[in-house]
Structure 1
Amino acid sequence: MSTPLPTAARPAPPSRWFAVIALTLGVFSLVMAEFLPASLLTPMAESLAISEGQAGQAVTVTAVVALLSGLLVTAVTQRLDRRHVLLAFSLLMIAANLVVAFAPGLAWLLLGRVLLDIALGGFWALSAATVMRLVSEHDVPRALSLLFAGVPIATISAAALGSYLGDLFGWRNVFLLATAISVATLIFQYVTLPRMTPERPTPLGTLVSVMKRPGMMVGIVAILLVFCGHFAFFTYVRPFLEGVSHMGINALSSTLLAFGVANFVGTLAAGYLIERSLRLTLLLMPLAMGSLGWLLATLGGFSMGTDALMVALWGFAFGAVPVAWSTWITRVVPDEAESGGGLIVASIQLAIALGAAVGGVVFGIGGVLAVCATAGTLLLAGAALVVAGVKTRPVSATAECSAQGSACD
């Protein structure tokens, strides 16, 4: 049996942009379902006769399960057609929304969230590698920017529409609406996604071998620092705007909306920036966010408009970050993009948990301004690592063996 060519060595596929749009719809549906409980927490808690803290577990359980799903999905599904795997994740999302919509108590609510988190982590792990098979190498950054554009749209929809529609029709009907969107997503994916047979076996040990490649560990640590810094700040952005900027509800809502819109624009701009220089994009975005973190820590409260502008600029810069790092993994390990994608998903989920935890500790000790300074420091450290040792060219398994001074089988 002939050995499959690595992804980078294959002829460029014809661009299937409708399939990329189908994946974007998947991102929108998954992320919206992920964040809906945050905007519906109070009515969900009252209806299920549980505390808001218990209902909040429906949000916090996401990171742990999605982390494990991202790490394991490539090994568990290594012999399955990727089209079938992605469709299965959409089916799982539908089931998850239905379980939550009809949940009689906390146990069923958490079950629904676990099902969603499996789909979420698995989908993200396969997304970059799937995009590589749908479009030519030149179009990968633009396709990934389109894919990630679903995130800010879904976040805004979950926060604004979720609470509004929940007040009008009840939180269960909001999840039924999310189910309907998921069904439409499944149908569109069924029509547009081509067959994508596995290119090579990806046992669990592949994750370890990918991590051992030169420069990979530095890149993963940089990802942890950048995302940890972002979520440390973003978790406490509302206390900053209320306590330091002294914004009322209207100004607060407008600023958060501006953040979301700027994040969307930054996501779309990422493809253009990466086509010109991936390394520069990886460097400039955390450098800008880290600088903004220190400016907010030192100048925050000077004027409401200035604070709002800096928060919006932060949103723009962060919009390019997931696109840039997803493009990075497709370039440095094109032959193991699925395993690399799993490592990125796990790193980001860990960073979300660490960011919230670090932010909480710092907030308790030094207040929200200290959180801004800490977030800025983490982001600047991530930018420094990009300069120091993050590679942006393919790193093969052969290079790994050569670096270790041993022969490859």
Structure 2
Amino acid sequence: MPLALLALALGAFAIGTTEFVIMGLLPEVAADLGIPIPTAGHLISAYALGVVVGAPLLTALSTRLPRKTALLLFMGVFLLGNLLTVIAPSHTLVLASRFLAGLPHGAYLGVAALVAAHLAGPARRATAVARVMLGLTIANIVGVPAGTLLGQLTGWRTAFLVVAGIAALTLLGVARWVPHVSIATSGGLRGEFSALARSQVVLGLLTAVFGFAGVFAVYSYISPMMTELAGMPTTAVPVVLALFGVGMTLGSLVVGPLADRWLRPTIYGSLAALAAVLALFTLAVHNPWTAAIGVVVLGAVGFGVTAPLQVLVMSRAGAAPSLASASNHSAFNLANAGGAWVGGVGIAMGLGYASPAAIGAVLAVVGLGIAVTAGLIDRSPTSDGSPAEEPARVG
């Protein structure tokens, strides 16, 4: 199992790098394509919208495929999208290539989470999912800062060429180490859509959309925030991105075991902490030291909610979890697109580079409200509503 999880996490590493590295390279991308920075921010939204569309679409089209075959197919499309980003000559074509690269994002991570949870068993499924998602967090310690520095030195397209290479390695790792697994489902595609419509699944997805948008409202504009408000040099941006990744990793390591024991309280605590941190970040961002500390804490509390929400959505989908699992990544990337857009609106309105954090705090409070409402509605005694599973405190 460790090598299988490593292979799955390597794919998450590639996905995390390509998703977030462009945020540190927005000035370089804007200069190369001859567009303003807010317009370059649309490339972030294009990728995120690709995830929103691709997660349910590709999952639906691949429901009859073996899980391992689906993983290989999704990573192959991801590889192609990043290669096209390297060679696309215009803003419009880069937008299209980023959309294509985003299409398999949620489908891959959704299936990877299902496979990891299946291999680990009911008692450690949140921990196993968190280990796969650790690839996303490590990407922000190593992949994003290194890609940002490489892009600053040799051209922003080089970063995406490296991502394509990592995707190729993932294909080899999945082919070699991930076993063929049989995960029981019921009802076929109709059953998957029926599970997706369950109230607890819908509320879980809405929690991700609103709760997580605040993180991306800030992170999408982290480079100009650090240089314009915190007074850091451009060369410090990769270090700040690495600090965000450190926070993400710490949050991911802590939250997995907690969510295995107390699923809903972990979600509540993460969202409440996120709202508080975003509110304080509007003040902290004006000093380089407090800004750096704030970035670490934001990464920890922001990404601490990802694995618990993933497990919640999968478990509430019952015996048809594939589409719900993938759609959870659509929700997170809808939050990505929405957060980047809302943050850009605040800046464009003249509210300043600190305004995305204030807007994000409000969004996190909305997400917390949805999560608490879902918890009050859901009175099941176990983390997935099934008495066959081991008991867990869900709030």
TM-score (norm 1): 0.80
Q: 2:257 aligns with which of 262, 269, 272?
A: 272
What is the alpha-carbon distance in structure 2 between the residues aligned to residue 251 and residue 173 of structure 1? 20
The farther-off stretch of 73-82 and 37-46 is 37-46
Unaligned runs of 5+ in 1: 1-15, 397-409
Q: Given the alignment of the two structures, is residue 375 of structure 1 paired with residue 365 of structure 2, yes or no?
A: no
SS in 1 for 2:333: helix
Residue 126 of structure 1 is matched in structure 2 by 111
The farther-off stretch of 232-241 and 353-362 is 232-241
Aligned-residue CA RMSD (Å): 3.1
Q: 2:327 aligns with which of 336, 343, 352?
A: 343
Q: Given the alignment of the two structures, is residue 66 of structure 1 paired with residue 56 of structure 2, yes or no?
A: no
The residue type equivalent to 1:191 in the other structure is R
8 Å CA contact 2:83, 2:160 repeated in 1? yes
Q: 2:292 aligns with which of 299, 302, 308?
A: 308
Question: How far did 1:271 drift?
Answer: 1.4
Matches within 5 A, 1:99-178: 99-105=84-90, 109-166=94-151, 169-171=154-156, 173-178=158-163
Q: Given the alignment of the two structures, is residue 186 of structure 1 paired with residue 188 of structure 2, yes or no?
A: no
Deviation readout 1:42-65 (Å, 9 max, x if unpaired): 666777x66467766544321222
Residue 400 of structure 1 is matched in structure 2 by none
Q: Given the alignment of the two structures, is residue 325 of structure 1 paired with residue 309 of structure 2, yes or no?
A: yes
What is the alpha-carbon distance in structure 2 between the residues aligned to residue 222 and residue 307 of structure 1? 27
SS in 2 for 1:335: coil
Question: How far did 1:259 drift?
Answer: 2.3
Residue 296 of structure 1 is matched in structure 2 by 281
Residue 199 of structure 1 is matched in structure 2 by 184
The farther-off stretch of 360-369 and 57-66 is 360-369
Question: How far did 1:19 drift?
Answer: 1.0
Q: Given the alignment of the two structures, is residue 394 of structure 1 paired with residue 384 of structure 2, yes or no?
A: yes
Unaligned runs of 5+ in 2: 387-395
SS in 1 for 2:383: coil
What is the alpha-carbon distance in structure 2 between the residues aligned to residue 225 and residue 306 of structure 1? 26
Q: Which has the larger Rg?
A: 1
Q: 1:286 aligns with which of 231, 249, 271?
A: 271
Question: How far did 1:245 drift?
Answer: 4.1
8 Å CA contact 2:185, 2:321 repeated in 1? no
The aligned length equals: 379
Question: How far did 1:23 drift?
Answer: 0.5
Change (3 A) 1:250 1:63: closer
Question: How far did 1:211 drift?
Answer: 4.2
The farther-off stretch of 205-214 and 188-197 is 205-214
The farther-off stretch of 57-66 and 278-287 is 57-66
The farther-off stretch of 217-226 and 239-248 is 239-248
SS in 1 for 2:304: helix
What is the alpha-carbon distance in structure 2 between the residues aligned to residue 44 and residue 19 of structure 1? 36
Question: How far did 1:267 drift?
Answer: 1.2
State the identity %: 26
Question: How far did 1:39 drift?
Answer: 4.9
Residue 25 of structure 1 is matched in structure 2 by 10
Change (3 A) 1:57 1:373: closer
Change (3 A) 1:248 1:173: closer
8 Å CA contact 2:208, 2:331 repeated in 1? yes
Question: How far did 1:76 drift?
Answer: 0.8
Q: 2:76 aligns with which of 59, 68, 91?
A: 91
8 Å CA contact 1:92, 1:119 repeated in 2? yes
The farther-off stretch of 248-257 and 373-382 is 248-257
TM-score (norm 2): 0.83
8 Å CA contact 1:241, 1:247 repeated in 2? yes
What is the alpha-carbon distance in structure 2 between the residues aligned to residue 300 and residue 180 of structure 1? 37
Deviation readout 1:98-136 (Å, 9 max, x if unpaired): 333344555654554343222213212323222222221
Change (3 A) 1:42 1:369: closer
What is the alpha-carbon distance in structure 2 between the residues aligned to residue 239 and residue 50 of structure 1? 18
Change (3 A) 1:209 1:65: same
The residue type equivalent to 1:393 in the other structure is S
